[in-house]
A and B are shown apart, each in its own frame.
Chain A
Amino acid sequence: MGFRRALFAFLIAASSFGAAGCRPDFAPFNRITALRVLGIQAEPPTPMIGESTTLSALVFTPTPDPTLAYHWTWCPLAAPSSQGYQCLVKEADLAAYVTGAGLPPFPAFDLGTGATATFTNSIDPTVFAFVCSNMLPNVPTMNAIDCSAGFSTQVTLTVTTATDSVTAVQNLKLRRDATTPANANPAITGINAAVGGVYVPIDDTGALTLPRDVETSLSVDVDPSAAEPYPDPGNDGAPTTERLFTTWFVESGETHDQRTSYIAGSTSFDDLLKNTWTPGITKNYPNPTARVFAVLHDNRGGAAWTGGTVTLGTSP
């Protein structure tokens, strides 16, 4: 029959997502115990030609680490996940091409080693047009370039300490002009825990005490307007509401859901905002305090986060 391989791959994909959550032998994805990049934000997330965007990251280390170092880069054409997100073009080759064509240079791939970085969308409009029209020859890519939501580039952050290293990538869509819809990072203003049936903010002081091994309700503060309407390029530009996802990271124990979501027509906005957390017992987590983070994503590359520290009671 036709497309049997595609169907088989479809079934494997569906089952692999389902199985991904069923690995009881390992610590859950959202329990943070070592160097991790929990989120990357570009503000604004879709800079237009001539605009700059500030890149920042939520980086977790178990203890303050003076050796923590950052390195930011960007790449105009990156391979997909199946090829490790490697950059498909060499900076020197790209420079030679634009120079030979008498065009202004692309921004340098290296964006620096600070905790934040700045990227300026200084790609020449002519080059932009060439790229978005797939007129750039001999560029290795697995997919035709589609700029209807912006020219998709990739930002890479490598964080290192004396003993560990993590590489993270973030898709960064560059707009040619105002006709391409812009995106805004969703806003998340706080995280709370239920104490005596009342939600109390979790701040960075550790003033709030939660019992160990007891399921405690958590919530985040997100306004429904964070789910922006936009024309969906994958649906012929039909008006669509953004999908929002909250990933709940904890230093101890487990949450009921690692990620909650708001998908219009499938789940409610309230589902996005609520979760429960059961902090670990002293034997598994002896520290008296634990950090929690909530990272909010939209499906168009926007991100934001909040977090706090709680004090954990004595183990039952």
Chain B
Amino acid sequence: MIRSSRQIAAAASRGRRAALVATLAVSTMAAGVARAQDGLGIPSRPQEAAPDGGVEAKKLTKLPKQTKFVEAEYPKEALDKNIEADVTLLLDINAEGKVDSVGITEPANPPGMGFDEAALVAAQQFEFEPAEMDGKKIAVQIGYKYKFRLKPKAPPPPAPETPAAPDAGAPVAAEAPAPAPPAVVNFSGILRERGTRLPLAGMLVTVFRDDGEKPLGFEATSDPNGAFQFFDLTPGDWKILIEPPGFYPYRTTETIKAGERVDVVYYVERGSYNPYDVTVTSTRPRKEVSRTVISAQELDKVPGTFGDPLAVVQNFAGVARPPPLTGLLIIRGSSPQDSKIFTEGAEIPLIYHFGALRTVLPVGVIDSLEFYPGNFSPQYGRATGGVVDIRIKKLQPKKVGGYVDVNLFDSGFYLEAPFAGDKGGFAVAARRSYIDFLLNAAVPSDAPVNLITAPRYYDYQVLANYRPSPAHDIRLFFFGSDDRLELLFKNPGALTAQISNNQLSFSTTFYRTLITYNFIPNDVFENSFKIAQGRNWVNASFGQLQFDLNTYTAQIRDNVRWKQGQHFTLVSGVDFLFSSTDVFVRAPLPPVEGEPPQMPDLTMTHTTNRKGVLGLSPAVYLEGEVKPIEKLLILPGLRLDYLTLSNETVLQPRITTRWGVTDKVTLKGGVGLFSQDPTPDQVDPSFGNPNLKSEKAIHYSAGFEFKPRPYITIDATGFYKDIYNLVSRTDRTEVDPLTGMSKPLLYDNGGKGRAVGLELIVRHDFTNNFSGWLAYTLSHATRRDSGTSDWRLFDYDQTHILTVLGSYQLPRNWQIGGRFRLVSGNPITPVSGAVYSASNDRYYATYGAVNSARLPLFHQLDLRVDKRWIYKSWILGVYLDVQNVYNRANTEDFDYNFNFRQSNPQQGLPILPILGIKGEL
């Protein structure tokens, strides 16, 4: 709204109490930002809170915008004593924009002056344009800081001129008054947010001067484009004051000259550049027993992870610490291959560069990451462990923007731009490592290797989003990566006497296209259709070993959600996975879980050479959301999979329940059957047993969630997992009935597994500049191999897993964070002796009982410091992430001498500082 200078002066003359102003510390009007509390930063949501009705945090497509502000009555006693105070509120804003309820999260200090009551009364009357998610108005809950501040009185308005009395005797002519000259804008401008260049709407701009006989001041409010205007300002110097809630005050002086117009652009700096901290109370109920959602902004700042999204998953409860530089995902006692990583429900072929270095998707294209440690919905299948689903950014840029990121491993950029007005957006991103440049420069000429291609990786992403109307959302995501390494050993015999040449090469390449079409015409019906296709190539060779894989994959998913009244919603869907593979492998048998590490015998290789191996795994699922009473949610579900490798159709019933016993306490539980195919090598005729059946697991879990405060959540979940039909190595043979020949039966389904445990999470949402969580897992995971009667420890059984993690927001855009981990050591199989193979000229260890010993306790502290400098049109961010701050020498394994008679602990990574620089437009 723009008011003329005369109007402002007139309003001031009506005696408003401009001397006392209750200012909002919150701006809910700044475009693209919802800030509920001044100085609040990124909310950390390691575990979803689930109060009554279900709560989940998602990124909003439109933030709530205040349309009616009610000024609170300044308490008289405080006014008389010149006391100022802040009151922090929690507002429940319904889908109509009205305030349903107001709570106090931080009362005023000093108490008892009446600030709390005044703020409550005023806030109850606030009105907002409601928040939206994908075009639908939704209820939100926001924090809101009400600041009571004493201000000097505004300059009084000029007194209206009194016409002079006419001279006595002079004739008084009856004249019509002359028309007033039109108001002329002589000072205008645009307000933009410093760093992001986003227009700032609804901000109050005050111009005043106090150098004349009388002080004089005028106000204007910026429009949705951030524009403001002032009319007929008298020539001279005018002081400008912009003091919006949530921003640093902006003060300057402008000189107005007669007959000239001054146009300006002001870049106003936000008090804190951490984005949204709005908690969404969604109409969609929380369904899962255990689900963790973490946003991209949070992913980027977790200490000790170098901003790698999947490394953050290790900090969640239920996730074991993997061996260093492996990137394995070990969830609730399941082997790494039993868990799946998806991108928007589509399987990703290769998630890490070089198997463990960096995730192929940078944080810039990610919206959030969802983690299900178990009892996941029938929408996910072909896994008996856990699920990670990476959600890609919903692209709705309001301007051209992006970033450049430079760190120890790689450099990359991200660029996005709007198109079709506000209906869509387009983004490109790419990243490349430069370890190869460093190695090429650092490796001396007399090194034992020739680097033909030093190790290098790159990845790329293209993202496009188009929403022709709120009901239709079309998204395209194209991504891929390439890793490459090739070297020659000058003396291959130094490695092993078994090698047949001196080459080592490794390359992986893949691309994927993912198209998503969401149709949401109303609150009752929702359809999401996805199609993904792409190809992967993997080529590796080491001496006589070879691995060549060329796979084409296509996946179609369709999910329908149909609300049938208040008490029942039906979700149904299909999930088709197709593949065609050419494979050539000459290698020893891969190691299996429970097998002690052994130098492979390069002369004992198996070979498979197959072309056009087809795979088709269709699945259908149904899930009901039954809400018989308000706070009770029951989700029965069924998934039917045809698993192509085991040629088996498996019906998997699942059920979860959530009961909001009170507003603060929710009980939850679930049980379900999960199945997956054996791995392709396990059913290959040369490497395995083509007659294997699918592996299965029954998940049981139960627990509760408790929110003693709005920003604190305590989540405790007990779990038990029964794994059967586990593929297990055997040394038996079987006789082919047709030929009478006996052949090794390398695997059968005679293995079993168990995992039992308790997960405890205590989470502190972003409040008082702090966020963080504590995750503790107590667990016990065992296996029983085929043909044995004794249970043994699982390779990655970690009895205690403790992670304590937190970040604190300091003034001037500093942030510090830390992570401490305390984890039981992995089981190991002790060496009992060694045998010298004269043929191979090498010793081979002999072992004691499998996993009968354990590595020492692991503990490590990581710290991270972030600083952002906010310039007019860009932001520079620098971070220092230091892993293993006190240089703890954690034992990750043991090194042995040539005949295994001596050993030394193999230490993990030492103190490792990583510096990163990021420039954002």
B898 touches A141 (CB 8 A): no
Nearest Cβ on chain A to B503's Cβ, whole angstroms = 8
A10 touches B542 (CB 8 A): yes
**A1 interfacial contact with B, CB 8 Å:** yes
Which of the residues B501, B536, B897 comes within 8 Å of A27, measured between beta carbons?
Answer: B897
Residues in B whose Cβ lies below 8 Å from that of A82: 595-596, 598
Residues in B whose Cβ lies below 8 Å from that of A260: 491, 493-494
Tell me the bound Cα distance from A267 to B839 in angstroms: 21
Residue among B540, B599, B841 with the most chain A CB within 10 A?
A: B841
**B249 interfacial contact with A, CB 8 Å:** no
* With A134-B741, A140-B731 as contacts: A9 and B600 at CB distance below 8 Å: yes
**B732 interfacial contact with A, CB 8 Å:** yes
Residues in B whose Cβ lies below 8 Å from that of A29: 898
Query: Of residues 864 to 908 in B, which have CB atoms within 8 Å of A's CB atoms?
Result: 895, 897-898, 902, 904
B350 touches A1 (CB 8 A): yes
Query: Of residues 507 to 549 in B, which have CB atoms within 8 Å of A's CB atoms?
Result: 536, 538, 540, 542, 544-545, 547, 549
Query: Of residues 134 to 189 in A, which have CB atoms within 8 Å of B's CB atoms?
Result: 134-144, 166-171
Residue among A20, A37, A266, A271 with the most chain B CB within 10 A?
A: A266
A258 touches B500 (CB 8 A): no
Which of the residues B579, B590, B837 comes within 8 Å of A85, measured between beta carbons?
Answer: B837
**B589 interfacial contact with A, CB 8 Å:** yes
Residues in B whose Cβ lies below 8 Å from that of A18: 495
B588 touches A259 (CB 8 A): no
B599 touches A20 (CB 8 A): yes
**A261 interfacial contact with B, CB 8 Å:** yes
Tell me the bound Cα distance from A167 to B901 in angstroms: 13
Tell me the bound Cα distance from A124 to B599 in angstroms: 35
Which of the residues B498, B581, B679, B741 comes within 8 Å of A5, measured between beta carbons?
Answer: B679
Tell me the bound Cα distance from A5 to B747 in angstroms: 14
Tell me the bound Cα distance from A169 to B497 in angstroms: 15
**A283 interfacial contact with B, CB 8 Å:** no
Tell me the bound Cα distance from A144 to B607 in angstroms: 12
Which of the residues B495, B501, B581, B837 comes within 8 Å of A169, measured between beta carbons?
Answer: B837
Which of the residues B496, B590, B835 comes within 8 Å of A168, measured between beta carbons?
Answer: B835
Using an 8 Å CB-CB cutoff, how does the interface string of B461-498 with A read, 1 for contact, 0 for none? 00000000000000000000000000010111111111
Query: Of residues 204 to 237 in A, which have CB atoms within 8 Å of B's CB atoms?
Result: 234
Query: Of residues 99 to 133 in A, which have CB atoms within 8 Å of B's CB atoms?
Result: 133
A171 touches B839 (CB 8 A): yes
B587 touches A10 (CB 8 A): yes
Residue among B498, B551, B735, B838 with the most chain A CB within 10 A?
A: B838
Residues in A whose Cβ lies below 8 Å from that of B542: 10, 13-14, 17
Query: Of residues 297 to 341 in B, which have CB atoms within 8 Å of A's CB atoms?
Result: 337
Tell me the bound Cα distance from A303 to B840 in angstroms: 11
A134 touches B492 (CB 8 A): no
Tell me the nearest residue of chain B to A141, going by C-beta.
Answer: B744
B501 touches A265 (CB 8 A): yes
B492 touches A267 (CB 8 A): yes
Tell me the nearest residue of chain A to B545, going by C-beta.
Answer: A10
Using an 8 Å CB-CB cutoff, how does the interface string of A79-102 with B read, 1 for contact, 0 for none? 111111100100000000000000
Tell me the bound Cα distance from A43 to B793 in angstroms: 47
* With A9-B587, A11-B540, A169-B837 as contacts: A4 and B742 at CB distance below 8 Å: no
**A6 interfacial contact with B, CB 8 Å:** yes
Nearest Cβ on chain B to A242's Cβ, whole angstroms = 11
Tell me the bound Cα distance from A26 to B900 in angstroms: 11
Residues in B whose Cβ lies below 8 Å from that of A167: 835-836
B902 touches A26 (CB 8 A): yes
Tell me the bound Cα distance from A136 to B838 in angstroms: 28
Nearest Cβ on chain A to B906's Cβ, whole angstroms = 10
Nearest Cβ on chain B to A106's Cβ, whole angstroms = 18
B491 touches A257 (CB 8 A): yes
A266 touches B587 (CB 8 A): no
Nearest Cβ on chain B to A5's Cβ, whole angstroms = 5
A5 touches B835 (CB 8 A): no
A11 touches B506 (CB 8 A): yes
Residues in B whose Cβ lies below 8 Å from that of A261: 491-494, 497
Tell me the bound Cα distance from A247 to B491 in angstroms: 12
Interface size, A (range): 35 or more
* With A257-B491, A265-B501, A297-B497 as contacts: A13 and B746 at CB distance below 8 Å: no
**B743 interfacial contact with A, CB 8 Å:** yes
Give the number of chain B interface residues (Cβ < 8 Å).
Answer: 80
B604 touches A143 (CB 8 A): yes
Using an 8 Å CB-CB cutoff, how does the interface string of B551-588 with A read, 1 for contact, 0 for none? 10000000000000000000000000001010101011
Residues in A whose Cβ lies below 8 Å from that of B583: 2-3
A169 touches B835 (CB 8 A): yes
Nearest Cβ on chain B to A51's Cβ, whole angstroms = 20
**A39 interfacial contact with B, CB 8 Å:** yes
Nearest Cβ on chain A to B632's Cβ, whole angstroms = 42
Query: Of residues 722 to 742 in B, which have CB atoms within 8 Å of A's CB atoms?
Result: 731-733, 735, 740-742
Nearest Cβ on chain A to B500's Cβ, whole angstroms = 6
**A72 interfacial contact with B, CB 8 Å:** no
Tell me the nearest residue of chain B to A85, going by C-beta.
Answer: B835
B494 touches A259 (CB 8 A): yes
B740 touches A135 (CB 8 A): yes
**B601 interfacial contact with A, CB 8 Å:** yes
Tell me the bound Cα distance from A36 to B897 in angstroms: 14
Nearest Cβ on chain B to A305's Cβ, whole angstroms = 11
Tell me the nearest residue of chain A to B898, going by C-beta.
Answer: A29
Tell me the bound Cα distance from A267 to B844 in angstroms: 27
**A291 interfacial contact with B, CB 8 Å:** no
Residues in A whose Cβ lies below 8 Å from that of B414: none
* With A6-B547, A9-B588, A303-B838 as contacts: A85 and B844 at CB distance below 8 Å: yes
* With A82-B595, A167-B835, A299-B498 as contacts: A2 and B549 at CB distance below 8 Å: yes
Tell me the nearest residue of chain A to B546, going by C-beta.
Answer: A10
Tell me the bound Cα distance from A1 to B544 in angstroms: 23
A138 touches B742 (CB 8 A): yes
A37 touches B504 (CB 8 A): no
A7 touches B836 (CB 8 A): no
A263 touches B590 (CB 8 A): no
Query: Of residues 815 to 850 in B, which have CB atoms within 8 Å of A's CB atoms?
Result: 835-841, 844, 846-847
Nearest Cβ on chain A to B495's Cβ, whole angstroms = 5
Supply 9 A–B pairs (Cβ within 8 Å), ascending by A: A1-B349, A10-B542, A142-B731, A167-B835, A247-B841, A258-B494, A260-B491, A261-B493, A267-B493
Extra inter-chain contacts (17) besides given A6-B590, A23-B895, A301-B839, CB under 8 Å: A1-B536, A5-B679, A6-B681, A7-B549, A10-B545, A10-B587, A13-B542, A17-B542, A26-B897, A144-B743, A170-B839, A247-B497, A259-B493, A263-B499, A265-B501, A272-B493, A303-B838
B interface list, Cβ under 8 A from A? 337, 349-350, 355, 488, 490-504, 506, 536, 538, 540, 542, 544-545, 547, 549, 551, 579, 581, 583, 585, 587-591, 595-601, 604-606, 679-682, 684, 687, 731-733, 735, 740-744, 746, 835-841, 844, 846-847, 895, 897-898, 902, 904
The 9 A-B residue pairs with the shortest CB-CB distance in the complex, in nearest-first order: A261-B493, A9-B590, A2-B680, A26-B897, A29-B898, A81-B844, A266-B502, A40-B838, A84-B846
A interface list, Cβ under 8 A from B? 1-14, 16-18, 20-21, 23, 25-29, 36-37, 39-40, 57, 79-85, 88, 133-144, 166-171, 234, 243, 245-247, 257-261, 263, 265-267, 271-272, 295, 297, 299, 301, 303
